[in-house]
Homo-oligomer: A and B are copies of this chain.
Amino acid sequence: MKFGTAVGIVISCVGIAMGATMEGTNVAVVLNVPAILIVLVGTLGASIAACGLEIHLKLPQLFKKAIMPDDLDLVGRVNEIVGYAEKARRDGLLALDEAVKEIKDPFTQKGVQLVVDGTDPDLVGAVLEAENDAMRQRHALGRAPFLQAGGYAPTMGIVGTVFGLVNVMNNLNQPSTLGPLIAAAFLATLMGVGSANIVFLPMANRLKELSQAEMHFREMTLEGILGIQAGDNPRVIAEKLMAYVPPAQRPSEEEQQAAKAAAQKQAA
């Protein structure tokens, strides 16, 4: 399921190519170098002007993140946190000191470390929320180039087409060349509208949804860490965190028991 974005772009391109071919158009015409220069380089430049150079050096990473997002295992995280809560209740908060080094997720690790260090609860909340705010801002900066490009590409397409039409108008006395010239002018519009609606805008939306899912994941984690620090009953923490999990993914009563047992063993 993780490859949704790549699959979607392929489906979209194949559908359009098949339709256009059936209409009798040679799809290869879109590989028009002037149109590509005007639309894609023009859009890239405008996007760099709008968002700065640095974020554009991370484009490969951002593409990869949109196409192969990390799995967010909500139930696994709930069980992990409930395991720590049980260990802390049984053996005291300091008993988590060893477990901390094993935690793979840096956010969870930082949170549990702060708790083990006996940091003031308000400060734990403040530090972790500052982390979340900063992540939200980084994500917003990361999807900005796609959002901006989605806005600029169609207008760069218009720029390309109008340039083409200016050329056409200055050659009205050679009627035989008009058709192909107008056709070529239209290709810029095609490239601009197509790239925006098949690549840039869908990727911007995908990155936004992935960011929201990660924030949701982290809020659940934060709630759990504060619960551990407050010494809440692990059953209560599980109840609270399970509300963050979509009902369809929630384990049945028995599954939950088994998972907890396994987590306890792991945390022990």
Residues of B near A52 (CB, < 8 A) are 1, 4-5, 206, 209
Neighbouring B residues of A36 by C-beta, 8 Å: 19
Chain A residues 1-20 with CB under 8 Å of chain B are: 1, 3-16, 18-20
A191 CB, min distance to chain B CBs, angstroms:
10
| Copies of the polypeptide in the assembly | 5
Secondary structure class of chain A's binding surface, majority of residues? helix
- Please, which residues of chain B bring their CB within 8 A of the CB of A24? 167, 181
Tell me whether A1 and B166 are in contact (CB under 8 A).
no
CA distance A134 to B205 in the complex (A): 19
Chain B residue numbers with a CB within 8 Å of A162 are: 186, 189-190, 193
The distance in angstroms between the C-alpha atoms of A148 and B12, with both chains bound, is 14
Residues in B with CB closer than 8 Å to A155 are 154, 193, 196-197
- Asked if A158 is an interface residue, CB under 8 A from chain B, the answer is yes
Interface residues of A in 194-217 (CB under 8 A from B): 194, 196-199, 201-203, 205-206, 209, 212, 216
Q: Are A159 and B194 in contact (CB under 8 A)?
A: yes
Cα separation A53 to B1 with both chains bound (whole Å): 6
Q: Are A240 and B42 in contact (CB under 8 A)?
A: no
- Note all chain B residues with C-beta closer than 8 A to A37: 15-16, 18-19, 22
- CB of A4 within 8 A of CB of B166, answer no
Question: Are B22 and A33 in contact (CB-based, < 8 A)?
Answer: yes
Knowing A19-B35, A134-B243, A244-B130, say if A178 contacts B172 (CB, 8 Å): yes
Q: Is A173 at the interface (CB under 8 A from chain B)?
A: yes
Tell whether, in the assembled complex, residue A53 and residue B144 are in contact, meaning their CB atoms are under 8 Å apart. Answer: no
Q: Are B205 and A11 in contact (CB under 8 A)?
A: no
Q: Which of B4, B119, B130, B212 touches A137 (beta carbons < 8 Å)? A: B212
A-B contact pairs, 5 of them (CB 8 A): A16-B160, A25-B164, A51-B206, A148-B205, A173-B179
List 16 extra interface pairs beyond A130-B240, A158-B193, CB under 8 A. Answer: A1-B52, A1-B54, A5-B52, A8-B53, A9-B46, A9-B49, A11-B44, A12-B49, A15-B40, A16-B156, A22-B34, A50-B209, A128-B243, A134-B216, A134-B245, A166-B186
